[in-house]
Amino acid sequence: MDNRIVTLLILYLVCLSFAPRLYSEELLIVRGDGQYAPFEFTQNNKLVGLHIDMINNVATQANIKVSFKSYPWKRAMSMVENGEADAITYLGRRPEREKYTYYFKGNVLSYTRNHFVISRSRDIEYNGDLRDLSGYRIGIVRGFMYGDEFSEADYIKKYRVNKREQMLAMLSKGRLDVALLNPLKLRTRFVEHENFSSIKVLEPPLTELPNYLGFSKPRKRRDIGEAFSKYMAEFKRSTHYTALLKKYGVSR
């Protein structure tokens, strides 16, 4: 290799090592402790997924050190609310969360598309009008967001459960007619739920809701959140981002 090229490479690496950090301390990012493939899950004892790879790539570009810690969801949320953590992943936008969380457009990590699903043995038609499903028992997960239209539809029979698995078990046993969930979480190239082959996904999706990397207001992370948003928007225009979407089987 030409000595001049070697010299330039060394100078570049030296300059890079002394580049000022946008944030001098390590950024603590918390998350729920569940398995949310293909977005956030553990594989070979390592936290991986589309969200994790996106954040790590953007942090590298912005010269920010980040670490991830997994907690039960309520605990993770309280850490952001109380200023014990800098940011939180996989965060839906709610008015009450605006009090302690910064949401920036560029920090959307993915979208949750909630669909109605039924057992393949059932013949239930749905074309986008919720009234098509009036009279049916519809399972939802307690505390999840399904949009204002569904929340305000008092003609829908809603059965709240604690976990998605419980809802699917009730569906397979005929205790529910319909379940409302994100089917992408049931079947990806990384995991396939045991009940997936027995259900039918109804189109169109009920909602398409953005999931954010939210930054803590009590921790005073507006500047870092805005910077992350800028770098994230740039990253989403790259071929690397396109490759990640393909790797994890996600449309966007």
Q: How far is CA 147 from CA 34, 50, 95, 123, 128, in A?
A: 23, 24, 13, 25, 14
Strands 199-201 and 101-102: unpaired
**How many other C-beta atoms can be found within 10 angstroms of the C-beta atom of residue 196?**
14
User: What 3-state class would DSSP assign to 133?
Assistant: helix
CA 22 to chain centre: 25
Q: How far is CA 197 from CA 168, 172, 203, in A?
A: 12, 11, 17
pLDDT exceeds cutoff 80 at 4: no
- The pLDDT tens digits of the residues spanning 210-235 come to 999 999 999 999 999 999 999 999 99
- The pLDDT tens digits of the residues spanning 187-202 come to 655 555 566 678 899 9
- The pLDDT tens digits of the residues spanning 117-158 come to 999 999 999 999 999 999 999 999 987 878 889 999 999 999
Note the pLDDT of residue 143: 78
Note the pLDDT of residue 236: 98
Q: How far is CA 240 from CA 64, 104, 124, 226, in A?
A: 19, 22, 41, 22
**Cβ pair 115, 183 in contact under 8 A:** yes
The structural domains of the chain, ordered by start, are 20-110+209-248 (3.40.190.10), 113-208 (3.40.190.10)
Say whether pTM exceeds 0.85: no
- The pLDDT tens digits of the residues spanning 97-124 come to 999 999 999 999 999 899 999 999 999 9
Rg (CA), the chain: 21
Q: What is the mean pLDDT of the chain?
A: 89
